[in-house]
Chain A
Amino acid sequence: MVRRVLFIIFLTQFLKADFTTDCVACHIQKRVDLRKTFMNALLVYGGENNFKTALFYYCKNPQPMTSVMSEEFLKKHLPLTPIQIDDMQLKKDIDEYWKRYKIKENLK
């Protein structure tokens, strides 16, 4: 019975893919500050749509040339590998990422 319950919990966690599981976990593991990445991307891509489109493209085709991270970071993490998340989910994750730091609403 206990084994069955544990299996169901594991299955629901696996099926419930979200920003935390898709992105945050890996960022923590690789010690890449999410805030810093966000602010670096914002500095280059500006507007919401442009930001989201650029980030989506980068996740699918990561290149040192298109990366917003420092040279030091890139040296450590080369080669960059494309993120294996389906497009719909990745878009949702990116929306979540934008909402987390949304500047328009937070500035006072």
Chain B
Amino acid sequence: MLLITTLVVAVSIIYYNSNIERINLQYKSLMQEFASLQIKRLKWLHNHYPKYNKYPRDDRYNSAIYDLEHDLIFSTLKSNKINFNKKLYFSDGYAIYVEILSDYYLGAKYLFIEVPKNGSLIAKVYKNIAIYGISALIILYLLGYYLAKLFIKPMKDSIELLDCFIKDTTHEINTPISIINSNIEMLKKDNLSQRDLKKINRIKIASRTLENIYKDLKFSMLENIDKATKDKFNLKDLIIERVEYFAMHMESKRITKELDLKDFIVEGNRELFARMVDNILSNAIKYNKVGGKINIILREKELIIEDSGVGIDKKSIAEIFNRYSRFNDSEGGFGIGLSIVKKIADFYKLDIKVESKINEGTRFIIRW
């Protein structure tokens, strides 16, 4: 839009300047003729002065003569503005042409010729700029819109395809996840060897990761945030619960956690807040180093979750909340987790801030 407007404005300026130049040339050529005529008359008067002393006048133009010291000798000009440095200028509705005389007839070095400015010439230029400029703008906007639509279509199609795929698969993965989870819980762990127990734990972690992805997809594709119920709960309890849920994930990467939690009663949908904490926490685990650290601080109206992970570069921070945006390809995922966090934060009018340093870690700060 801006490019098209700039283009049309630039063309209009070029058109305007070229027309102004053309109009000036028209004035110049006309006034040069008047100047030649006036010089002839001045010459005659010079030769017959003081017997004749009537300054030559003409209905078609006004004129004035100035000596080389810029002193006025005689003037019939209507305009008050005198400019010795310009060949042609406009003042008080008049075009004024300045001719420098080589022979100082009557002592005059400068001859000013003045004609009324023809407003219709410039009005025509403005009219043309308005008509053609607006027409060009409309045509180019329509063309731009059509082309943009044409170029964006493949991208839009692929996003729609991805959405459809996710919607379809989301319906199908819930049952298998539930079966895996319930069967793992039903297993009698006392009868299992240490080696098998380890394997079961890995299956449990994988299943929970899958469960988390399922919840995100379900929230993202199928649930309406506006219809969420309103609960009153202690956020501290929720965080402890969610940390417990991810405990196995943390253990698998030998991540240590430090919790500094104070009671904070929140009004809102508990499940939505769980989604928000889960996504930040799962990222903090996923992108953390082996043997890394996660700190969670909860104070009145402030929640901070920080990790010692790979960090996000400054450029990517602005985009991390965009849907399907993934700031690191080292780990899997759809790139919808943080867009869910943002959506929930926006819904509850929470201020969410991200601070990050490459290879040092990332800090999410949520304020009420």
Return A108 CB to nearest CB of chain B, in Å.
5
Cross-chain contact B109 with A39 (CB below 8 angstroms) = no
Return A60 CB to nearest CB of chain B, in Å.
22
Cross-chain contact B50 with A50 (CB below 8 angstroms) = no
| Chain A interface size, under 10 / 10 to 19 / 20 to 34 / 35 or more | 10 to 19
Report 10 cross-chain contacts, Cβ distance below 8 Å, ordered by A residue: A42-B46, A43-B104, A46-B109, A48-B67, A49-B69, A103-B106, A104-B74, A106-B49, A107-B73, A108-B54
Let me know if A57 is at the binding interface, CB within 8 A.
Answer: no
Kindly count the residue-residue contacts between A and B in the assembled complex, taking CB atoms under 8 Å apart.
57
* Mask of A6-25 contacts with B, CB within 8 angstroms, 1/0: 00000000000000000000
What 14 additional pairs, Cβ within 8 angstroms, besides A46-B107, A46-B108, A47-B109?
Answer: A42-B106, A42-B107, A43-B104, A45-B104, A47-B67, A47-B71, A47-B107, A48-B71, A49-B69, A101-B49, A103-B73, A103-B107, A106-B53, A107-B74
Return B338 CB to nearest CB of chain A, in Å.
83
Interface residues of B, CB < 8 Å — how many?
Answer: 21
Let me know if B334 is at the binding interface, CB within 8 A.
Answer: no
Select from chain A the residue with minimum beta-carbon distance to B108: A46
By a CB distance below 8 angstroms, the chain B residues around A44 are: 104
Let me know if B17 is at the binding interface, CB within 8 A.
Answer: no
Say which residue of A39, A43, A104, A108 sits within 8 Å of B73 (CB atoms).
A104
Cross-chain contact B55 with A108 (CB below 8 angstroms) = yes
Q: In the complex, what distance in Å separates the CA atom of A108 from the CA atom of B105? A: 16
Q: State whether A35 and B71 are in contact (beta carbons under 8 Å apart), knowing that A46-B109, A51-B107 are contacts in the complex.
A: no
Q: In the complex, what distance in Å separates the CA atom of A87 from the CA atom of B30? A: 49
Let me know if B68 is at the binding interface, CB within 8 A.
Answer: yes
By a CB distance below 8 angstroms, the chain A residues around B104 are: 42-46
Q: State whether A107 and B53 are in contact (beta carbons under 8 Å apart), knowing that A39-B46, A43-B46 are contacts in the complex.
A: yes
Return A73 CB to nearest CB of chain B, in Å.
17
Cross-chain contact B107 with A35 (CB below 8 angstroms) = no
Q: In the complex, what distance in Å separates the CA atom of A97 from the CA atom of B47? A: 18
Let me know if B59 is at the binding interface, CB within 8 A.
Answer: no
Q: State whether A39 and B55 are in contact (beta carbons under 8 Å apart), knowing that A46-B68, A103-B106 are contacts in the complex.
A: no
